[in-house]
Structure 1
Amino acid sequence: MVSQKDFFQTIQQETVAEYKDRGSRFLACAFPLSNKLAFKHKLDLLKKEHPKANHFCFAYRIGIDGNNFRSSDDGEPSGSAGKPILGQIDSKELTNIAIVVVRYFGGTLLGVPGLINAYKTSAALALQLSPIIKKPIVFRCTIDFDYTQMNEVQRWLKNFNAQIIAQELQLFCKITADIPKTNMEEARNIFSQFQNITFSIS
């Protein structure tokens, strides 16, 4: 039986939503994310796109263990921006996602309750625009084998719905592949039956 923990939820594509309150504009950009470096790159791009904006508040969550996340108020009062944004991500049980909310200050102070509402609402609007998708949890594996076993190895990887990440095809070959968690046990059992094949989890 497939358990909920064999899959994770994320968004399918980048979306942008706008929210206004008393002259201030809040542009929320939600996008799929695989690592922190990609996030930094995207944040830099947004800062170049909006050179006159006052704040770039954000939250992201990466990975399936729940420990890799961050939120930032970027100069707004503590807890008024990053946390509400992260709260929207978590309320939909999403991961591998980031939301950056770009604020243009409109001259009127909104107060902490007003800011919390603005950042929460703009993040929620961005999430509404992108379909939520389920993706299988995968393990990165390395298979070392003799060239004569190439067809066999590739056939089994196809059976396991593996995604090949890298391959070195010499006399002795190495394939790095992501195998869905649901197929890991069978993959380990199958590959351990072959001579001259080493199967390891990265």
Structure 2
Amino acid sequence: MFTLSSSVEYTLEIKKSRFLGRVEPVASRAEALAVIDTLRAAHPDAAHVCWALLAGGNSGMSDDGEPSGTAGRPMLEVLRHHDLDGVLASVVRYYGGVKLGAGGLVRAYTDAVAGALVGAVKTERIAMTLLSLTLPYADENRVRHWAQQQGFEVVAASHAAAVTLTISLPQAAEAASLRALTDLTSGRLRHIGTPD
């Protein structure tokens, strides 16, 4: 799976209609909808602001008044074809007065997204997880040093009767990391889990 490193725009003109295609990485459906609202506000004279979001279980699409299946679904298929996730595709259409027909619309929305993707830089999307570890104070510096060496981030720490560290790491590294940390602390990890 891949996402994009930044947003890319592409403009297409077909029979006097202008299609402003855009692809960009988004962290959530809420962020994607906020982007769409911003586009609507920035283009008040546009006939349509269609979009497609590939984001796991939060994926979605909208034809925004275009004939059903002529905008959102074709845009979503382009994203799927490129093995993307966490990506929003949007197309702002300024109507030029000439009807394109269903086939023409599908091609236009597909081409607007595909054109933007030509200039996009893909980055591998790594599924991350948070690991919450409770350990004695004596092990805190050792565990922090280990996390830094692995390139993992300590995102939270609390100090009470024991230290609780929350570490962000790739999901694929979770099992091996737990084994390494158990060895590193000689089994003194008293709680292993994910934060609430």
- Shorter-chain TM-score above 0.5: yes
Instruction: Provide the rounded CA distance (Å) in 2 between the counterparts of 1:170 and 1:126.
Output: 51
CA distance in 2, matches of 1:133, 1:115: 30
Instruction: Give 1:39-54 correspondences, 5 Å limit.
Output: 39-54=32-47
The whole-number CA distance in structure 1 between the counterparts of 2:180 and 2:191 is 11
Partners of 2:85 and 2:125 within 8 A in 1: no
Is 2:150 the counterpart of 1:160?
Answer: yes
- Is the 2:28–2:58 Cα contact (8 Å) retained in structure 1? no
Does 2:29 align with 1:36?
yes
Q: C-alpha displacement at 1:147, in angstroms?
A: 3.2
Q: 1:128 aligns with which of 108, 118, 124?
A: 118
The CA deviation at 1:94 is 0.5
Comparing 154-163 and 11-20, the one that deviates more: 154-163
Identity in percent? 27
**Residue aligning to 1:97:** 87
Equivalent pairs, count: 192
Alignment of 1:177 onto 2:167: yes
Q: 1:70 is matched by which residue type in structure 2?
A: G
**Is the contact made by 1:192 and 1:198 (CA closer than 8 Å) also made in structure 2?**
no
TM-score for the superposition, normalised by structure 2: 0.89
Any unmatched runs of 5+ in structure 1?
1-7
Equivalent of 2:129 in 135, 139, 144? 139
The 2-side partners of 1:51 and 1:17 are apart by: 19
Match of residue 100 from structure 2: 110
Give the counterpart of 1:195 among 179, 183, 188.
Answer: 188
The answer for the alignment partner of 1:24 in structure 2 is 17
Q: CA deviation at 1:32?
A: 0.4
CA distance in 1 between partners of 2:160 and 2:2 (Å): 38
Q: 1:157 to 1:15 in 2, by over 3 A?
A: same
Query: Compared with structure 1, are the counterparts of its residues 40 and 201 closer, same or farther at alpha carbon in structure 2 (3 Å cutoff)?
Result: same
- The alignment's TM-score, normalised by the length of structure 1, stands at 0.87
Flag the structure with larger Rg. 2
Tell me how large the CA RMSD over aligned residues is.
Answer: 1.8
1:191–1:197: 8 Å Cα contact kept in structure 2? no
Q: Which runs of 4+ in 1 moved over 4 A?
A: none
